[in-house]
Structures are given as C-alpha cells and as structure tokens.
A and B are shown apart, each in its own frame.
Chain A
Amino acid sequence: MSYAIETQELQYRAGRTFELGPLNLHVPAGAIYGFLGPNGSGKTTTIRLCLGLLRAERGGVRVLGHDVPSQAPAMFARVGYVPERSHLYPNLTVREALALHGAFHRRWDHQAAAELLGTFQLQGDTRIGRLSKGENGKLLMLLALAQRPDLLVLDEPTDGLDPVVRRDVLMALIDFVSESGATVFISSHLVHELERICDWVGVMDRGRLVAEVPMHSFKNGIKRLRVRNAPAQAGDPPFVLLARERGDGASGTEVWVVRGWQATMRQYFEGIGAVLQDVVDLDLEEGFVELLRTARVPRGS
C-alpha cells in the first residue's frame, strides 16, 4: 500500500512538558484521513512536523514520496495546506493573495479559483486583515483547492466557522476530492464533521497516536454491552475489553466497553454464565470518547 504521509518513529519535544511521539503515522493514498484528538494532543504539532515547519528531534517523514524537510519545496508543489491560524499576508487583498499563490503553483486553476470566489462569496478587493474568521477560512481553503494538490493537509479547517460557512467549505472540499481523487488529511476536534467524510481515522492523545484504523472498523468495532451476572474474571473474551463498569440500573448489571465486536460473540456470554442484555452501537464521537478514556486509564482486572 502506498502512503501519502508516512512517519517513522517521529519524535519532537517542546519545553519540558510537551513531548510528541514516537509517532508512526500512515495516511493511505487516496484516503480521507480524519486526524482526531482533544485540544493540545499534538495534532497541529504533528502536521507542522510532517510539512517541515518544525524540526523533528528524531525520525523521518515522507510526504507523497518526498523526504521532509529536505525535499519540502517539491513536496509543497503538490500539497495544499490550510493552517490552523491564517498565515497569509494581512495587507494584501483577496485578489492579490490569489495572484501571489497562483504565481507560485504551476497547477493553479484560475477558473476554479474564480468559481470558488463566487461560491464562497468573497470580495476580491477586501484586505485579508479585514476578513472575518469565516471568510479567512474560506480563503485558505480556496487557495489550497485551486492549487489542485495531490494531498490536502487541513488543520482544523472549519474550527470556529459558523454552520453555513462550514457546509460551504466541506462541499467544496468534497467536490474537489471526487473530481481529483486527492488524499485529504484533516485534523479536527469536531468529531461529527469527520464522521461523514472520513474513511480513515487516526486518534492522537497526549502526543501519542492511540489508534489508526479504517473508519468502518472504528465505528463498528466499539460497542457498549450491558451484561448481567458477569463473573469477576472475564476469562478469555474473543473481543478486546476496554472497560468494565457498574451499570446504573438493576444490581448485577455491568457495562462493558469492547472493541472488535461481532454478533457471533454472543455465545461467549452463555459460556461464562452471563446474560448479554443489550448491545449499544456507539457513534464516532462516543467511540472516540471511550477510546480516549480507556487509553488513559490502565485497564482494570
């Protein structure tokens, strides 16, 4: 399998408290990869490391086959980047920013840029410093899309945008992806947003990658089971038991959070003399929360 982004034992340190990695990230080519994690978990740092904007302490990064940072310029010819905070020159107008960006990117699509300008309802002669947060986000996305990249790296592209703007931005993104088949690496702490569009998820927590799986296995794998009369020793379950807690209903009811659940595993409970009362599906956000919770607390029993 070829990867759009691949890191090897990537490590970084900032100050005494923040430590990242060792990180082995694999973003499959052609995927829409959701990069999840709470604020401060190291998402932005990872992205900046991958793009050669921060100097890694150890480890290597390859993006679209280019070594980073040594081949960063060649890499940036094929990568559209939307940073967390606008990095554009505030004294330029929207049109000037477009002209500047277009002058540097060979694949710049003037027509697409003009269309997106209309779609996003941006005024060409507004100064960037005067744009609202939403307009700024749209402009950043416009620039990244109109350069027709093979890889889009989006760092919280919709953070702080109102729902209408967010919808416009996502629609433009999806439109571009369906047309070009580009890889998208998108970080967000807004899980709902990613739920619709991603086919891979990576979850960061406290500077570590705690999961990296295809979306369907992530969404389907994590379940909340309501179990009655469970023995103290779980034995050897066919699934991964993430957590075991007392239920809030009748006594003797427990809630198990499991990963890798399949319907055929019901038999296991009969084997240990317990009753599986219910299997609750978790959506991405709940799964995400459970994953973080269980990743942080060492598993009991």
Chain B
Amino acid sequence: MFAAICRIQWKASALGVALLATLAFIIPLLTVQQAGFSAGDRRGWDLIVMLSAVETAGTLFPILAVILGLTLSVGAWSADHQAEHVYALTLPVPRWHYVLLRFGAGLLLIAPVVAAVGLGCAVALGSFDLPAGLRSYGGAITLRFALAAAVSYAATFALAAGTKRTTAAVVGVLTAVIVLALVLEAFGVSTAVAEGIMNAIFTRPGPFEVLVGPWSLIGV
C-alpha cells in the first residue's frame, strides 16, 4: 500500500523535487562562489563582507524548505482535490490511515532534497581551505533544512488536507487578523497583535522556530 502511494506521490512531485534538489545542490556552491571563497589566491579576501554575503545567501535555505513543503503538499493532495476525494474515500482503508500513507510518502521525498543540500554543502566547502578562525556549518544546515522542510510540509499538508472551506477559513482568519492589526497600527492604535502572532509562530514553542535564525554556511 505504502509503496503504491509512494509511487504516485513520486509521480506527482518528481519534477518539483528534482528541480528543488538541483537548486539545493547549487545554492551552497553559488553561495561560496559568489561570496568569493574560491580556491587559489586568498590574499584579497575581505572576510567580513564575504561572511555577510554568505549570511544573505543562507536565507535561501528556509525559503527552499518552505517551497519544498508546499510542493510536496500540493503533490499529495491536488489529485485528490481534483477528484473530490472520491477515489480515496472508496479505498478500503480508514481516512486517517490514508492520510498517514500520503503524509509518509511526501515525507520520504524530502530525503533526496536534503541529500542534495548535504552534498552541495560538502562539495562547496571542499572546494577551498577555510581560513583560520572560521568554521563551516554544512552539517547543521543540512539538519536544519531537513527539519524546516518537515515542519513546512506538515503544516501545508494539514492545511491542504481539510476541505476547501476549512483551509480558506484558517488562512482567511489569520490574514484578516494580521491585516486588521496592521490597519489599526497605521491609524496609530498599537495592538502588537501582528507582532504577537509572528512571535507565536516563529519563536519557541511555535512551529516555525527552525525557519528563522542563522542559516550561514560559513561563520565564526
């Protein structure tokens, strides 16, 4: 059963996963290259500028992780949404079982992209000798990427699993509250609601803590 679901999930998401894996492999290479860490002459290196370039490029990782999560969720549910879930509901498995199969199949597809990140980091960092005082964080990036992709996938998956009405309601309420807060703020009424929501989401114990924070491939 799981193998069959994995196959159709792969079919639905293969293109996206391949594309994202390619990006995941390239990003560390480009980061290192753009920042100026190329093999050979290191006399002209201005490390602080280079590190800030690396830090800026690092924001691509969480973005990639979110896109990956979204791609996999879409891959997991779009066919079912199109068929109004009739096929899924006529299979001889309980709904929760089916949802878990779908989730697991998507989760599995995070692996190749994570591997691409790890490989990209390894190749990028292997292309030059790190100056004294600096350290590389290829392993940490890879692990964080895996976690970020997993939680993004879980969140978008849960959102997409609902009916259109539920999904619209959840997204709508969140958006409405934030927009309202921003409007109030613009009129000088300080609510701190938008900030509160952001804090609740992006700091512990919120779900997306892993997305924010340092993502530098190279640091002190």
A touching B, CB within 8 angstroms: yes
Closest to A78 in B: B92
* A88 interfacial contact with B, CB 8 Å: yes
Instruction: Name the residue among B1, B91, B93, B94 with the largest chain A CB count within 10 angstroms.
Output: B91
Tell me, rounded to whole Å, the shortest Cβ–Cβ distance linking B190 to chain A. 46
Of the listed stretches A89-97, A169-177, A229-237, A258-266, name the one at the interface; the rest are far from the partner chain. Answer: A89-97
Tell me, rounded to whole Å, the shortest Cβ–Cβ distance linking A139 to chain B. 12
Asked whether A104 lies within 8 Å of B92 as measured between CB atoms, the reply is yes
Out of A52, A96, A104, name the residue touching B91 (CB < 8 Å).
A104
Of the listed stretches B63-71, B78-86, B165-173, name the one at the interface; the rest are far from the partner chain. Answer: B78-86
Out of B4, B83, B84, name the residue touching A88 (CB < 8 Å).
B83
Out of B4, B83, B92, name the residue touching A77 (CB < 8 Å).
B92
Contact with B along A13-39 (1 / 0, CB 8 A): 000000000000000000000000000
Contact A104:B4 (CB < 8 A) given known A73-B92, A91-B79: yes
Tell me, rounded to whole Å, the shortest Cβ–Cβ distance linking A67 to chain B. 14
Distance between Cα atoms of A89 and B8 in the complex (Å)? 9
* A87 interfacial contact with B, CB 8 Å: yes
Asked whether A81 lies within 8 Å of B90 as measured between CB atoms, the reply is yes
Which residues of chain A are near B7, meaning CB under 8 Å?
96, 99-100
Which residues of chain B are near A213, meaning CB under 8 Å?
none
Asked whether B1 lies within 8 Å of A53 as measured between CB atoms, the reply is no
Distance between Cα atoms of A51 and B92 in the complex (Å)? 12
Closest to B2 in A: A103
Closest to A99 in B: B4
Instruction: Name the residue among B84, B91, B92 with the largest chain A CB count within 10 angstroms.
Output: B92
* A60 interfacial contact with B, CB 8 Å: no
Asked whether A103 lies within 8 Å of B3 as measured between CB atoms, the reply is yes
* B204 interfacial contact with A, CB 8 Å: no
**Chain B interface residue bracket vs A:** 20 to 34
Distance between Cα atoms of A81 and B90 in the complex (Å)? 8
Asked whether B90 lies within 8 Å of A76 as measured between CB atoms, the reply is yes
Out of B1, B87, B93, B94, name the residue touching A89 (CB < 8 Å).
B87
Tell me, rounded to whole Å, the shortest Cβ–Cβ distance linking A44 to chain B. 12
Which residues of chain B are near A221, meaning CB under 8 Å?
none
Distance between Cα atoms of A104 and B3 in the complex (Å)? 11
Which residues of chain B are near A105, meaning CB under 8 Å?
92
Distance between Cα atoms of A51 and B90 in the complex (Å)? 8
Which residues of chain A are near B5, meaning CB under 8 Å?
100, 103
* B89 interfacial contact with A, CB 8 Å: yes
Distance between Cα atoms of A185 and B43 in the complex (Å)? 83
Distance between Cα atoms of A89 and B10 in the complex (Å)? 14
Asked whether A74 lies within 8 Å of B92 as measured between CB atoms, the reply is yes
Considering the complex, which residues of chain B in the window 155-181 have a beta carbon less than 8 Å from any beta carbon of chain A?
none
Contact A89:B83 (CB < 8 A) given known A99-B7, A104-B1, A104-B4: yes
Which residues of chain A are near B90, meaning CB under 8 Å?
51, 53, 76, 81, 83, 87
Asked whether A103 lies within 8 Å of B1 as measured between CB atoms, the reply is yes
Asked whether A83 lies within 8 Å of B3 as measured between CB atoms, the reply is no
Out of A52, A83, A100, A102, name the residue touching B8 (CB < 8 Å).
A100
Which residues of chain B are near A96, meaning CB under 8 Å?
7-8, 11
Which residues of chain B are near A73, meaning CB under 8 Å?
91-94, 97
Considering the complex, which residues of chain B in the window 78-129 have a beta carbon less than 8 Å from any beta carbon of chain A?
79, 82-84, 86-87, 89-94, 97
Interface residues of A (CB under 8 A from B): 51-53, 72-77, 81, 83, 87-92, 96, 99-100, 102-105
Interface residues of B (CB under 8 A from A): 1, 3-5, 7-8, 11-12, 79, 82-84, 86-87, 89-94, 97
Extra contacts, 9 of them, besides A88-B87, A96-B8, A103-B4 (Cβ < 8 A), are: A53-B89, A73-B97, A77-B92, A87-B83, A92-B8, A96-B11, A100-B8, A102-B4, A103-B5
User: Could you name 19 residue pairs across A and B whose Cβ atoms are closer than 8 Å?
Assistant: A51-B90, A53-B90, A73-B92, A75-B92, A83-B90, A87-B84, A87-B90, A89-B79, A89-B83, A89-B87, A90-B79, A90-B82, A91-B11, A91-B79, A92-B8, A100-B5, A100-B7, A102-B4, A104-B4
